């Protein structure tokens, strides 16, 4: 998920130990698909004093399972309506997601799984390229239709604020995406880069040092290690209700060339 780069909850990571926000987000790319909107809602969460990607992963899994359990207990008739008339198989898939521990694999492992896949992909998987929707759905299917965390993405694929793993030739960052059945990516997050010299170096390489001086200033005199993630609310509704098109889970869908007021 790509959101406009404005000061967000991730910039509050040094002030509070656990913070979150829930509000509109705007997508910059001209994406015309069943999974994308120009304006959507996102839950963004941030945790201070963590140097472990596993901490972020655990909060993501707990959020999904807790929120879903509450929805199922508080709104059983609404959910049942969708499971009966829209997606009859979704009830069983949802029960599997709540019952099983989510799986974690590295980006490198994911690429190797895709290369060994018996099917042919429109976009051929290779290390260093982003995972496409067809890849994400295959990986979830390969793992038994259980949600999958993909961790440690290539350095050049992810934004400047994700923490450098300093891991040699296959240069990666401490990033994580959560893939769920039927949808693909639901959440995306990372440990944040709190070391000023790493941030300065990367922003200079990208030609963004002047534009993001304010971001450097926030960490110039020390910063607690922190991390966080975002979860698209409409994609979450797609996942639990079994709705195929994201435009059907928001009252006024806005997408490129259709932003009616």
Measure the CA–CA gap between 52 and 56, rounded to whole angstroms: 7
The residue assigned the tokens 């099917």 is 119
Q: For residue 8, tell me if it sits in a domain.
A: no
Query: What pLDDT is stored for residue 15 in this prediction?
Result: 61
Give the chain's domain count. Answer: 1
CA distances from 167 to 126, 145, 155 (A): 19, 31, 10
Task: Report pLDDT digits (tens) over 140-173.
Answer: 999 999 999 999 999 999 999 999 999 878 899 9
When mean pLDDT is compared across 11-15, 33-37, 200-204, 226-230, the lowest value belongs to 11-15
Q: For residue 197, tell me if it sits in a domain.
A: yes
The residue assigned the tokens 């922003």 is 203
With beta carbons less than 8 A apart as the criterion, state whether 103 and 73 touch: no
Flag whether pLDDT at 33 surpasses 80.
Answer: no
Q: For residue 11, tell me if it sits in a domain.
A: no
* Distance, first Cα to last Cα, the chain: 24
CATH at residue 150: 3.30.930.10
pTM: 0.89
Give the distance, in angstroms, between the CA of residue 46 and the centroid of all CA atoms in the same chain: 13
Confidence of residue 260 (pLDDT cuts 50, 70, 90): low
Number of residues written out for the chain: 261
Q: For residue 196, tell me if it sits in a domain.
A: yes
With beta carbons less than 8 A apart as the criterion, state whether 45 and 228 touch: yes
């Amino acid at each position: 998920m790509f959101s406009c780069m404005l000061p967000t909850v991730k910039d509050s990571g040094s002030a509070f130990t656990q913070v979150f926000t829930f509000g509109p987000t705007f997508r910059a790319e001209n994406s015309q698909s069943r999974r994308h909107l120009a304006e959507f809602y996102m839950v963004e969460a941030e945790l201070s004093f963590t140097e472990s990607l596993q901490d972020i992963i655990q909060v993501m899994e707990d959020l999904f399972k807790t929120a879903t359990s509450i929805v199922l207990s508080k709104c059983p008739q609404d959910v049942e309506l969708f499971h009966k008339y829209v997606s009859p198989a979704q009830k069983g898939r949802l029960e599997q997601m709540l019952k099983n521990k989510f799986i974690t694999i590295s980006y490198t492992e994911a690429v190797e799984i895709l290369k060994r896949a018996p099917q042919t992909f429109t976009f051929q998987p290779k290390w260093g390229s982003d995972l496409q929707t067809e890849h994400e759905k295959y990986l979830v299917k390969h793992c038994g239709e259980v949600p999958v965390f993909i961790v440690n993405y290539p350095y050049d694929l992810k934004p400047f604020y994700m923490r450098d793993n300093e891991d040699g030739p296959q240069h990666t960052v401490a990033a994580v995406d959560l893939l769920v059945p039927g949808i693909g990516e639901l959440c995306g997050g990372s440990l944040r880069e709190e070391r000023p010299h790493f941030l300065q170096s990367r922003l200079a390489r990208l030609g963004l040092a002047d534009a993001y001086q304010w971001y450097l200033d926030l960490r110039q005199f020390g910063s607690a290690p922190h991390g966080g993630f975002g979860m698209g609310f409409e994609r979450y509704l797609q996942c639990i209700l079994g709705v195929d098109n994201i435009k059907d889970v928001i009252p006024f869908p806005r997408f490129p060339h259709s932003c009616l007021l």
